[in-house]
Amino acid sequence: MLAFAQSDIGMVRKTNEDSYVFLPPHLFVVADGMGGHVAGEIASNMGVSTIEEYIKKFAQHSDWEELLKDAIIKANSIIYQMSQSKSECSGMGTTVTAIYADDSEVYWGHVGDSRLYLIKENVLQQVTSDHSLVWELMQSGSITIEEAQVHPHRNILTRAVGTSEMLTVDSGKFSWQSGDSLLLCTDGLTNMLSEDTILKICSQYSSPQAIVNTLVDQARQAGGYDNITAVLVQYKD
């Protein structure tokens, strides 16, 4: 496998509240924090570090889908406890999209509106569902994809890690093979670039580094209104 990751502050924000775990060839996580002052940065950092530590601690676990879910629930507990005990962290939370990839399967866990895509035979497939108000409106047919892209409430989440004591984690697994790629990213990328543009860039360049660098650069050029994080993993023999 070949992989590359980049996180960029963007063109507007004063801090980068995105975090990620990059542990090739198996574990990759992206997180987009939210909360006042530096609370979003704290939440995303706590989220990814807790998940990384949990996965390492239980690395002999045989059910990777359940392990990812348990790791995210552990992160939720730790972030929620801090948000309750420190006033400056009140209401903080984070998205989390995490994968564990082996030679045949990709296992994933997900909360929020960061995304996991599978790129297979020049088709970009969104694996995860956004836990956001605009996603629910789009799924119900109330708004179109184009309207969702510019909706004034597109940043409102319906589920996040650390914002409540109990958490439901989406999870799953799918097969992949040589020639396939995985893209994990925060909404700082997907709010700036259409899926057609993302696929075009992923198809235009061969190396993960060139793809990620171009995705981030194009998102910045499109306005860069949010922090931008992207991780690309290629399955190559």
Cβ within 8 Å of residue 139, ≥6 positions away: none
Q: What is the largest CA-CA distance in the chain?
A: 50
> Using CA atoms, how far apart are residues 71 and 67, in angstroms rounded to an integer?
6
- pLDDT of 37 strictly over 70: no
Question: What DSSP letter does each residue of the chain carry, written as one string?
Answer: -EEEEEEE--SS-SS--EEEEEETTTEEEEEEEE-TTTHHHHHHHHHHHHHHHHHHHTTT-S-HHHHHHHHHHHHHHHHHHHHHH-GGGTT-EE-EEEEEE-SSEEEEEEESS-EEEEEETTEEEE-S---BHHHHHHHTTSS-HHHHHH-TTTT-BS--BTSSSS---EEEEEE--TT-EEEEE-HHHHTTS-HHHHHHHHHH-SSHHHHHHHHHHHHHHTT--S-EEEEEEE---
| Nearest residue to 126 via CA among 170, 94, 179 | 170
- The whole domain housing 101 covers 2-234
pTM tops 0.85: yes
Hey, what are 116's tokens?
A: 């996991």
Q: What is the mean pLDDT of the chain?
A: 93
Cβ within 8 Å of residue 172, ≥6 positions away: 65, 107, 108, 127
- pLDDT of 35 strictly over 90: no
Report how many domains make up the chain. Answer: 1
Q: Using alpha carbons only, what angle is made at residue 235 by residues 28 and 221, rounded to the nearest 5 degrees?
A: 65
CATH number of residue 169's parent domain: 3.60.40.10
Mean pLDDT calculated for residue range 28-55: 93
How confident is residue 36, by pLDDT bands cut at 50, 70 and 90? low
User: What interhelical angle do 208-221 and 195-204 show, nearest 10?
Assistant: 140
> Using CA atoms, how far apart are residues 29 and 95, in angstroms rounded to an integer?
10
- The length of the chain, given as a count of residues: 237
- pLDDT of 101 strictly over 80: yes
How confident is residue 237, by pLDDT bands cut at 50, 70 and 90? confident
